[in-house]
Amino acid sequence: MATNNINPGRFFGNFVLNKTLLTCGIYSALFYIITDQLASTWYNGYSIINQNYSELLATGAPTRPVMLMVSVVYNILVAAFAIGIWSSGHQKRTSKITGALIIGYAILSMVTPLFFQMDMRGAQATPNGSLHPVMTAVMSLFVVLSIGFGAFLLPKWFRIYSFFTIILLIVFGFITSLQVPQLALGQTTPFMGFTERINIYSTMLWFAVLSVALLKAEKEKIRPNEPVQAAECTLIDGKNIFKNWFALALSAAVIIAEIIKLLISGRPDYADSFSPVLLPFASATLAAAAVIKFNNSSTWLRVQRALLWIGLLLMVWTANGLPFDLLRLTPLMPQGIDWPGFATRLLALAAVIVLARLAFKEPAGSEPYGKNNWYGYAAFFFALPYPLLRTCWAFGGTIGLTHAGAAGVGFAPLIIAIPWVLAAVLALMFVHTPHWMSRRFLLTAGWSATVIVAMIGPAAFWMIITSLVKGGVQGPEGMDAWVPFLFYTSWFLFAIAIGAATRSYQLRTSGTPAFSVNESASDVTNILKK
């Protein structure tokens, strides 16, 4: 009997990918409806029955900042759904046209509230606000065309349902448009929000129904009894599937946690200056793009590799501030903890661990890794500024201080420098490893130092950069401005260098048992026999 040349890892991976993308149709609909209902309660005086959705995103609306974030997430979900339709293969040409139209809708849906937002009811009209009805009409046209072409993706029942939805959109769209003049004049618009939301929610329902129907059709493609050529079965794809989708799930969780954080008022804002507002969304989006497998072209794989590293580094930055969260759980800093922010940073750290395992995975057939001493020397160099200045201050020096004793009296400045002295010694151990040193211990110490400093360094460096942009760095009381700039910059660079040194050591000793890197082959054999 002929054997099908099917790679089960690739087949299963593509199936799970397409299933995930198509499921985004359901998620986008639910997300839109839930956030619409919630936002209407946050806007004092807003009536979900009498006011339209765009007023939640209008210039000056109190809900605009949050709803812009909601718009970004929603349209990413819609775009993912469109890609799933494009690659589903049902009525090949129709699926591509429908996917392209829905992507066009997602782009317009993101651009309109960002650049052509509605003016507040009763406010003076602006050029961009005047174009809002036009952009909304074009966006509605894309929706109708998407439903019209998408109607032919599935059997007759779905075509009837789709055409009924189009009629519903046209009728209630016309009814809603009758009150546009009153809206422009700032007058009341009874039931305008109700009729508009019949249109919106009908579209969301169509997305969800199409998603469920295509998911059912995708399952029917599977033929579990077809024989598979054994030579094509590789463990690499199978092992990475769980990591990829776990990384994708964590990336989505980071976005959701960040949105919840932005919705909660009255929380401590001690970590808000650690990173740009959009960083969690950017890091999670790049990480998701890096783990989703669209095709096997060498160009795209190289792009994904770059996205993976960028997403990983940005996710590390997103996790910054965790040490401060943990300190605030102790009596040392009893000022209260930002629990929503803590959840975002904790999820980001989990994503970092999974993404790091994917990024550090060795390609099959790679060449042995050479020794790169300069990583360790660089880490040693960047670890020195803090302990050197602290030692100077402990012995009465005033370099970087406005007066003697500003950094502490006696040997107090020296005590808090001890961890950085140990960090400098650790960096040199990756260059010249003692024969008695345990590989496992050295790797544990190296990665621990990387994680701890990486949870502080980027945030501190960002605070320095933003201070410079706003008009200069102001040092702590009794210190010159250049001192914190030197410290925070060296921490940031040390985190990068010590991570590179640890990874370099790990790669070049990957064939060596964990207990010692220099034991003889006979000693290794004897230990393994025991």
- Residue 469: its pLDDT value, please? 57
Parse the chain into domains and list their residue ranges. 8-232, 235-359, 373-529
Kindly report whether the global pTM for this prediction surpasses the value 0.95.
no
CA distances from 287 to 189, 247, 282, 344 (A): 44, 8, 8, 15
d(CA 209, CA 186): 37
- Residue 4: its pLDDT value, please? 46
Phi, psi for 330 (deg, rounded to 5): -110, 165
Q: What are 434's two structure tokens?
A: 């003692």
Answer whether 243's CB lies under 8 Å from 283's CB: no
In 143-258, beta strands by DSSP E: none
d(CA 344, CA 319): 7
Got the DSSP string for 503-514?
Answer: HHHHHHTTTS-T
Beta bridge partners of 70: none
- Residue 147: its pLDDT value, please? 93
pLDDT in tens, the chain (530 residues): 444 444 444 444 455 567 778 888 888 888 898 888 888 877 888 888 888 888 898 888 888 888 888 888 899 899 989 988 888 766 678 888 899 999 999 999 988 888 888 888 877 878 888 888 888 889 999 999 999 999 888 888 888 999 999 999 999 888 888 888 888 777 888 888 888 888 999 999 999 889 888 888 776 655 444 443 333 333 234 456 667 888 888 888 888 888 888 777 777 777 667 777 778 888 888 888 888 765 566 666 777 788 888 888 888 888 888 877 887 777 666 677 888 888 888 999 899 888 888 887 755 444 445 556 788 899 999 999 999 988 888 888 888 887 777 777 766 677 888 889 999 999 999 988 888 888 889 999 998 898 888 888 787 777 777 666 555 556 567 778 778 878 888 888 898 889 889 988 888 887 654 434 444 344 434 433 44
Local structure of 360: helix, strand or coil: coil
